[in-house]
Amino acid sequence: MSARILVVDDIEANRRLLKAKLEAKYYDVIVAENGEKAITAAKSDSPAIILLDVMMPGIDGYETCRRLKADPDTAHIPVVMVTALSEVEDRIKGLKVGAEDFLTKPVDDFALMTRIEALMRYNTVADELRRREASGMASGSLEAVDLEDLKKPASVLIIDDNPRSSVRLAKRLREEGHTVVTLLESGGLSAEAGRKAELVIVSLNAEKFDPLRICAHFKMHETTRSLSVIVVFDPHDQAKAMKAMELGASDMVVTPVEDQELLARVRTQSRRTRYIDILRRRVDHGMELAVIDQLTGLHNRRYMINQLDRLLKRPSAEQSPISVMIADIDHFKRVNDTYGHEAGDNVLKEVARRLQANTRPTDIVCRHGGEEFMIIMPDTAVEIACKAAERIRRAVAADAFEIEGVPVSLDVTLSGGVAAYTGSGESPLDLIKKSDEALYRAKSGGRNRVESVAA
């Protein structure tokens, strides 16, 4: 998996060393010698990951990271702080300004590549969701409610068969407000425990179960695949940690576990998981906007055409009848002209409600546009569709409409046109045209009636 990586360091030898290591793994590497140039390169070259030195002249790595994360154009790019500072507080400071990870100089090849590969997996999902969102709806920065969700405490499951280390980790996380369940407290590993957690900490030192199999289990099942998994490992057990990362673990912490580093990594991973969830929700919402009429809640014309096209292309379409009804609200313009567009909107919503209440679960009710609606009736002959259309017409006209802000009850009626698919290569537009012709006859014949085009 190749990608473009931006290396930022004021010392040329350091830039060259990291560039050589990454290019040996077939990454495309660009470099910058200070924070200002790094910000410019991040905007112009769109790197997948930024390796950012902390100690630089001018604006240091912390301030550079803060500016990158404050800019909507670069906030999504993962930043890995690279520092010669060995104090935990210095590393934690980087995570607090928005960095996704940190590496300590001299950079260990194992740590470098595992961090890069984990971030690349995250990027693959996040980038795909951002592309879908951009194609389905207007893209934008996260809303305030989303940002608050990112900051909330996490729900954590600790999988460790050592009571002392398990209790210590749980106690520290609970002190920070996180909800924690341990393997020992739950009495065993259950699917329910995994589903309730958003982050799992797995000890690779466990003796009573295979921790690598646990990692694989979470990433194999759809219900737990999105969980972030942090593995805890001994310094001499890098091979097992590498295998865990290959199996899908999101991050790793070496023993002895430093409290502040653990808390920072839990915070980072929980926010990353929630960010992906937010993107997924926004993509789902965008997909909904693409097929749902926002006023009535019915399917829109785009969905209607797609469904008709799908039904007409079924292998059984020549043998299975397909009928449609176009319904138009009679004298709808008078409602708008007399009582205003808000009253007209409320009439449209009530008509939509009555249509849905008087159609079968297999029928597809859509808003065709304006005051026109369409009901697609799969596996329905035109004779039966005409009876259904007449029942729908009567149901809409049966009770007067009580509309908020309108001083009188409104008598609302429909005219309907029914047509059936006759085969011979008819398209959705052909079928709509036939039902439109039947609707025109119903309007011309006095309204509040149903006409049809025979099969």
pLDDT tens for each residue of 194-243: 567 889 999 999 988 999 999 998 888 878 888 889 999 998 898 899 89
**Mean pLDDT in the chain?**
87
* Together in a domain, 282 and 309: no
Confidence (pLDDT) at 134 = 53
Confidence (pLDDT) at 448 = 96
* Together in a domain, 241 and 374: no
Whether residue 186 lies inside any domain: the answer is: yes
Average pLDDT of the residues in 404-422:
93
* Together in a domain, 221 and 361: no
Within 75-157, residue ranges assigned H as helices are 88-96, 109-136, 144-151
User: How is residue 304 written in tokens?
Assistant: 């209607």
Confidence (pLDDT) at 190 = 58
Confidence (pLDDT) at 286 = 63
* Together in a domain, 199 and 91: no
Q: Are 223 and 195 contacting, i.e. CB atoms less than 8 angstroms apart?
A: yes
Looking at the DSSP bridge assignments, the partners of residue 252 are 231
User: How is residue 209 written in tokens?
Assistant: 């179960």
* Together in a domain, 67 and 188: no
Q: Which of 232, 253, 286 is the last residue of a domain?
A: 286
Instruction: Supply the CATH number for residue 95's domain.
Output: 3.40.50.2300
Closest by Cα among 41, 37, 10 to 28 = 41
- Give the list of residues 6+ apart from residue 177 with CB closer than 8 angstroms, or none: 153
Q: Say whether 215 sits in a helix, a strand or coil.
A: helix
Whether residue 174 lies inside any domain: the answer is: yes
Q: Which of 77-81, 87-91, 214-218 has the lowest mean pLDDT?
A: 87-91
Whether residue 241 lies inside any domain: the answer is: yes
State the total domains in the chain.
3
CA distances (Å), 215 to each of 10, 224, 231, 245, 248, in order?
39, 10, 9, 9, 7
Q: Domain containing 412: what range?
A: 301-453
Q: What angle do CA 297, 303, 307 make, to 5 degrees?
A: 125
* Together in a domain, 142 and 281: yes
* Together in a domain, 282 and 307: no
Confidence (pLDDT) at 139 = 43
Q: How confident is the model at residue 440 (pLDDT cuts 50, 70, 90)?
A: very high
User: How is residue 373 written in tokens?
Assistant: 């609606």
Say whether pLDDT at 298 is over 50: yes
φ, ψ (nearest 5 deg) of residue 416: -130, 145
How many whole angstroms separate alpha carbon 117 and alpha carbon 22? 11
Say whether pLDDT at 61 is over 90: yes
Q: Are 344 and 332 contacting, i.e. CB atoms less than 8 angstroms apart?
A: yes
Q: Which of 92, 107, 122 is the last residue of a domain?
A: 107
Q: Which of 259, 286, 313 is the last residue of a domain?
A: 286
Amino acid residing at 220: M
pLDDT, tens digit (0-9, with 9 covering 90-100), for 336-386: 999 999 999 999 999 999 999 999 999 999 999 999 999 999 989 999 999
- Which pairing describes strands 364-369 and 49-53: parallel, antiparallel, or unpaired? unpaired
φ, ψ (nearest 5 deg) of residue 54: -85, -50
Choice between 121 and 147, residue whose per-residue pLDDT is larger: 121
- Give the list of residues 6+ apart from residue 154 with CB closer than 8 angstroms, or none: 178, 179, 198, 199, 266, 267, 269, 270
Q: How confident is the model at residue 280 (pLDDT cuts 50, 70, 90)?
A: confident
DSSP 8-state assignment for residue 405: T
Out of 371, 372, 426, 451, which one is annotated catalytic? 371
* Together in a domain, 339 and 410: yes
- Which pairing describes strands 79-83 and 4-8: parallel, antiparallel, or unpaired? unpaired
Whether residue 166 lies inside any domain: the answer is: yes
DSSP 8-state assignment for residue 154: P
* Together in a domain, 260 and 331: no
* Together in a domain, 389 and 437: yes
Catalytic residue flag (residue 12) = no
Confidence (pLDDT) at 102 = 81
Whether residue 386 lies inside any domain: the answer is: yes
Whether residue 126 lies inside any domain: the answer is: no
* Together in a domain, 278 and 310: no
Q: How confident is the model at residue 193 (pLDDT cuts 50, 70, 90)?
A: low
Instruction: Supply the CATH number for residue 348's domain.
Output: 3.30.70.270
Whether residue 86 lies inside any domain: the answer is: yes
Whether residue 312 lies inside any domain: the answer is: yes
Average pLDDT of the residues in 324-330:
97
Rg, C-alpha atoms of the chain: 30
Q: Say whether 362 sits in a helix, a strand or coil.
A: coil
* Together in a domain, 159 and 89: no
